[in-house]
């Protein structure tokens, strides 16, 4: 356990020192993964299914705000579906536009859930999404995760009907449009997942706020349990067949993933090295403020060549209460 | 050679500069407005975006039901249809305007609260400057 704690401190020091580069690399990796997965899963437009284009866009995104990754992912998805059929492109484009106009304008920080949820489905860890967003977000994050689920099932549905829709050349555009919309609206498996994820996320979020010992760990466990119950109940109500064993196994994996994320992300204050500039009447100041770390990581400093931080009590800036 | 730098003042200014660059960025931008101006501006924006969304949804609905609508076009009561469209529009935009009112009022109040500490720090800085001038 001590080794794990030391590793966590090492990551913390490493992150606080190279934060600028790490964030750029993470954005690059996220964009590259998302666009590669879109190309692999859809790939109808051959000109777009090109590693060079993906690399260029990913490099661009590593220096741009994170929400632009969603914009590029949406453009890729719409262009691929356009190559398949105009009707699919209209439906998927309208969905993205509605999401932006009606929801993400108000809650841009949650927007990345619409990317992460389909990725979690493709990586076979979908049940971890409501638990993680329950920990990091608010009950309203259920909407973001629900949008991610809808996007994933929409892409999955369009993939499943790609041959059928290609063979409907003689039908009118209205018939094809109806075919696409009906398939998406009547996807009961999608409704089951949306409902179960919403329940799980809200349960996690409400329990983690309780002031009881181990509230976060209880929240993770109860979130997974609520997810299993919700999937089984809603599926039986809507007459959808689900593999209960698979749901339980998926939730066990989700608990493990959420526990790792909780340990390395939410338990640590990745206080950053700050570089600020200001001036007064006499001087210009260029200040680099380095956070103090509390744990002895001498062994890592010797091996890894990182600066050994000063020892001392953890000091965090507290809100200043003015005494009148 | 003796330095003229005041350590406390530099620390205070560093914290303030850090706040301005990070969590205070939005709060400072929001609090440049009066509360009513900020909330009304965002409610108007929400009304515009929800109007676009309404017409987009309406367009998709009409296209989906185009066959039925073309069949019934001569038998339908245009005035009644117009009334129901306008009612739907008012309800749709009204709901989003209300949500925007609640969200942006909350954000403004939160920003004001967050700026309180910053304003206190500004006052402390001003007092420190006066003290230094008196010493000098």
Q: Compute and round to an integer the Cα radius of gyration of chain B.
A: 27
In a domain, B133, yes or no: no
Non-local CB neighbours of A151 within 8 Å, separated by 6+ positions:
A77, A95, A114, A117, A118
Backbone angles phi, psi at A248, to 5 degrees: -65, -45
End-to-end Cα spacing for chain B = 17
Inter-chain touch B17–A278, beta carbons under 8 Å: yes
- How much of chain B, in percent, has pLDDT values that exceed 90? 37
Per-residue model confidence (pLDDT) at position A270 = 61
Contacts of B21 in chain A (CB under 8 A): 274, 276
Q: Is the pLDDT of residue B70 over 80?
A: yes
Contact B12, B121 (CB under 8 A): yes
* ipTM computed for the complex: 0.74
Phi-psi category of residue A231: left, alpha or beta, with phi > 0 → left and psi -120 to 50 → alpha? alpha
Contacts of A277 in chain B (CB under 8 A): 17
Per-residue model confidence (pLDDT) at position A292 = 65
3 state SS of A287: strand
In a domain, B48, yes or no: yes
Which residue range forms the structural domain that includes residue B15?
7-123
Inter-chain touch B16–A101, beta carbons under 8 Å: no
The pair of structure tokens assigned to A234 is 């809603």
Contact A221, A255 (CB under 8 A): yes
Count up the domains in chain B and report the number: 1
Residue B100 touches partner A, C-beta closer than 8 Å: yes
- The label of the residue with tokens 């039908």 reads A171
Inter-chain touch A274–B16, beta carbons under 8 Å: no
Q: Give the nearest chain B residue to A97 (CA atoms).
A: B53
The pair of structure tokens assigned to A33 is 């993964």
Confidence of residue B86 (pLDDT cuts 50, 70, 90): very high
Per-residue model confidence (pLDDT) at position A226 = 92
Distance separating alpha carbons of residues A163 and A173, to the nearest angstrom: 16
Inter-chain touch A283–B18, beta carbons under 8 Å: no
Domain ranges of chain A: 85-272, 274-304
Pick the residue of B6, B13, B105 with the most A CBs within 10 A to test the interface with A by mutation. Answer: B13
The whole-model pTM stands at 0.76
Distance separating alpha carbons of residues A23 and A36, to the nearest angstrom: 20
Inter-chain touch A287–B10, beta carbons under 8 Å: yes
Q: How far is A322 from chain B (nearest CA, A)?
A: 6
Per-residue model confidence (pLDDT) at position B2 = 54
Q: Could you list the pLDDT tens digit for every one of the 324 residues in chain A?
A: 677 777 777 777 777 777 778 888 988 998 999 899 888 888 888 888 888 999 999 999 888 888 888 889 999 999 998 888 888 888 889 988 988 888 777 777 777 888 888 888 888 888 999 999 888 888 888 888 888 899 899 888 888 888 887 777 667 788 888 888 888 888 888 999 999 999 999 999 999 888 888 888 899 999 999 999 999 999 998 888 888 888 899 999 999 998 888 877 766 666 566 777 887 777 788 887 776 655 444 444 444 434 444 444 444 444 444 443
Per-residue model confidence (pLDDT) at position A60 = 92
Inter-chain touch B21–A94, beta carbons under 8 Å: no
Q: Is the pLDDT of residue B117 over 60?
A: yes
Q: Which residue has the higher pLDDT, A205 or B122?
A: A205
Per-residue model confidence (pLDDT) at position B136 = 61
Distance separating alpha carbons of residues A90 and A86, to the nearest angstrom: 6
Selection from B84, A31, B52 nearest residue B76 by Cα: B84
Per-residue model confidence (pLDDT) at position A299 = 42
Per-residue model confidence (pLDDT) at position B22 = 76
- The label of the residue with tokens 């001003």 reads B126
Distance separating alpha carbons of residues B42 and A105, to the nearest angstrom: 11
Residues B7-60 pLDDT 10s: 777 888 888 888 887 778 888 888 888 999 999 999 999 999 999 999 999 999
Per-residue model confidence (pLDDT) at position A320 = 47
End-to-end Cα spacing for chain A = 48
Distances (CA, A) of A322 to A109, A221, B118: 32, 42, 11
Contacts of A289 in chain B (CB under 8 A): 14, 18
- The label of the residue with tokens 């730098």 reads B5
The pair of structure tokens assigned to A184 is 């998406």
């Amino acid at each position: 356990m001590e080794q794990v704690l030391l590793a966590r401190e090492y990551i913390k020091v490493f992150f606080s020192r190279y934060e600028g580069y790490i964030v750029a690399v993470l954005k690059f990796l996220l964009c590259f993964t998302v666009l590669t997965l879109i190309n692999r899963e859809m790939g109808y437009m051959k000109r777009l299914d090109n590693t060079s284009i993906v690399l260029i866009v990913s490099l661009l995104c590593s220096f741009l705000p994170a929400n632009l990754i969603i914009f590029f992912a949406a453009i890729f998805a719409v262009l691929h579906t356009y190559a398949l059929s105009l009707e699919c492109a209209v439906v998927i484009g309208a969905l993205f536009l509605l999401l932006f106009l009606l929801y993400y304008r108000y809650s841009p920080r949650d927007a990345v859930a619409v990317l992460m949820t389909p990725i979690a489905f493709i990586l076979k860890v979908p049940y971890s999404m409501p638990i993680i967003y329950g920990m990091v977000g608010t009950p309203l994050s259920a909407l973001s995760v629900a949008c991610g689920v809808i996007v994933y099932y929409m892409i999955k549905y369009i993939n499943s009907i790609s041959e059928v829709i290609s063979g409907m050349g003689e039908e009118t555009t209205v018939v094809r449009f109806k075919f696409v919309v009906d398939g998406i609206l009547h996807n009961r498996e999608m409704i089951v997942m949306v409902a179960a994820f919403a329940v799980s996320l809200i349960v996690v979020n409400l329990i983690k706020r309780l002031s009881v010992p181990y509230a976060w760990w209880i929240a993770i466990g109860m979130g997974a349990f609520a997810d299993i119950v919700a999937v089984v109940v809603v599926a039986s109500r809507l007459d959808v067949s689900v593999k209960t064993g698979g749901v339980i196994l998926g939730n066990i994996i989700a608990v493990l993933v959420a526990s790792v994320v909780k340990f390395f992300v939410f338990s640590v204050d990745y206080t950053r090295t700050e570089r600020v500039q200001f001036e007064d009447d006499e001087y210009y100041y260029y200040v680099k403020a380095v956070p103090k770390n509390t744990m002895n990581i001498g062994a890592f400093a010797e091996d890894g060549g990182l600066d050994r931080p000063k020892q001392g009590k953890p000091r965090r800036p507290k809100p200043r209460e003015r005494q009148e | 050679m003796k330095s003229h730098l005041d350590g406390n003042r530099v620390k205070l200014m560093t914290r303030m500069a850090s706040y301005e660059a990070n969590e205070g960025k939005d709060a400072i931008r929001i609090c440049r407005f009066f509360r009513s101006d900020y909330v009304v501006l965002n409610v108007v924006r929400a009304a515009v975006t929800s109007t676009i969304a309404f017409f987009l949804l309406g367009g998709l609905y009409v296209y989906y039901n185009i066959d039925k609508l073309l069949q019934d076009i001569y038998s339908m009561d245009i005035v009644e249809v117009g009334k129901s469209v306008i009612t739907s529009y008012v309800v749709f935009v009204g709901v989003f305007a209300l949500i925007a009112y609640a969200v942006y009022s909350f954000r403004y109040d939160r920003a004001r609260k967050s700026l309180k500490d910053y304003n206190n720090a500004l006052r402390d800085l001003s007092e420190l400057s006066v003290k230094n001038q008196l010493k000098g």
